[in-house]
Amino acid sequence: MRFRKFLRVLGSYAGIAFGAAVAAVGINIFLFPYKIAPGGIAGLATVLYYVFNSFMPLGVLILLLNLPLFIWGIIKLKWKFMIRTLYATVVMSVIIDLTASFLGNVGSNYLMPGETDLILFAFFGGLIIGIGLGIIFRLHATTGGTDLIAELVRRSGVNLTMGQALMIFDAMIVILAGVYFQSFMLALYAMIAVLVTSKVVDSILEGFNFSKGLFIISSKHTEISTRIMHDLGRGLTGFQGTGKYTGDAKEILFCVARAKFIPDIKTIVKEIDPDAFVVVTNVHEVLGEGFRGFDNQNS
């Protein structure tokens, strides 16, 4: 039992290190060499790096700027979470500095030799950083900076997703970078990176199931549910509702299915009851029978 727990913790820390490495690569290849501030402490450190003419490595700057936030986090958050966060931040900062000289010119020399398309660099930089941060957040850590501020805000009960909180705080840093570099275009490129990072982080945290939820209200609910279960093999749940306009009792069918099944379900409903009322909604994550099991969730 203890050995299993040790392996689980070891795997978690390995995953955090991998996520930190991915984020560091995204910064060094696509953003930092072109003065595109990725938002957060890394973005602020990027500005300071150029303000003071490279007086200190970027990774070291990131660590120093994070110190006050670590103290705040230790006071407000659980120590296990802060240990993971400190670990993620140190790993990312070290990898940034160790790979800076090697990865700094990879984008222009190997990915797009002879040209530099900053829109693509901002997009893919945000994408790769988002993947790295999403992995880290999913393993219950952050990389400090606005990631940590966002976690503190989110845990305080403010109704924001992690990605939304990140976007708000990162946008402030992006504006600051645009003012210092006196480049409205660089600020826009940075905003692209921030928006992409935010979206990717939310997608990783909420899942990539691409499932849909359907509410079906029809007087022919029995025939509809029978056809869906028989033809498509999808389960449904029926619960009682009341039409407030008519006062009539109605049975409401609820079904969760992969997106590919939605056209077939709508066809079945249309064939049986063209007057049925159907609501289709996005479902970010589905756990349970027929979908991903609870055992696949990170603890």
Q: What is the length of the chain? A: 299
Give residue-wise pLDDT tens across range 30-45: 999 888 988 788 888 9
Does one domain contain both 165 and 244? no
Question: How many structural domains comprise the chain?
Answer: 2
What CATH number does the domain containing 227 carry? 3.30.70.120
Neighbours of 243 (CB within 10 A): 11
Give me the chain's average pLDDT, please. 84
Mean pLDDT throughout 164-171? 75
Contact 125, 27 (CB under 8 A): yes
Determine which helix (DSSP H) or strand (DSSP E) holds 281, and give its type and residue range.
strand 277-283
Helix (H, G, I), strand (E, B) or coil at 213: strand
Taking alpha carbons only, the member of 23, 95, 86 closest to residue 59 is 95
Classify residue 35 by its DSSP letter.
T
Same-domain check for residues 232 and 185: no
3-state secondary structure string across 65-134 = HHHHHHHHHHHHCCHHHHHHHHHHHHHHHHHHHHHHHHHCCHHHHHHCCCCCCHHHHHHHHHHHHHHHHH
- Give, rounded to a whole angstrom, the gap between the first and last alpha carbons of the chain: 15
Both 31 and 82 in a single domain? yes
Residues 183 and 254 in one domain: no
Q: Residue 52: which domain range? A: 2-206
Are 251 and 198 contained in the same domain? no
Q: Please give the DSSP secondary-structure letter assigned to residue 246.
A: T
Kindly report, residue by residue over 208-236, the tens digit of the pLDDT. 656 788 999 998 999 999 999 988 888 89
Same domain, 225 and 287: yes
59-103 residue pLDDT tens: 999 999 998 888 878 877 778 888 998 999 999 999 999 999 888
How far apart, in whole angstroms, are the C-alpha atoms of residue 7 and residue 4? Answer: 5
Q: Specify whether the backbone of 247 is left (phi greater than 0), alpha (psi in -120 to 50) or beta.
A: left
Residues 29 and 88 in one domain: yes
Claim to verify: residue 260 and residue 162 sit in the same structural domain: no
Among 190, 206, 222, the domain boundary falls at 206
Q: What would the pLDDT profile of 112-146 be if each residue is shown by its tens digit?
A: 666 678 899 999 999 999 999 999 988 888 888 77
- Backbone phi, then psi, for 170, in 5-degree steps? -65, -35
For residue 128, what pLDDT is reported? Answer: 96
pLDDT digits (tens, 9 = 90+) for 179-207: 888 888 988 999 899 889 888 987 887 66
Tell me, yes or no, whether 78 and 35 share the same domain. Answer: yes
- Residue 277 pairs in a beta bridge with 217
Residues 70 and 140 in one domain: yes
- pLDDT of amino acid 283: 80
Do both 14 and 71 map to the same domain?
yes
The values of phi and psi at residue 102, to 5°, are: -75, -45
Which two three-digit tokens encode residue 167?
């976007």
Whether 299 shows a pLDDT value over 50: the answer reads: no
**Whether residue 216 sits in one domain with residue 202:** no
> pTM for the complete prediction?
0.74
> Which of 173, 206, 239 represents a domain boundary (last residue)?
206
The one-character DSSP state at 230 is I
Choose the final residue of a domain: 163, 190, 206. Answer: 206
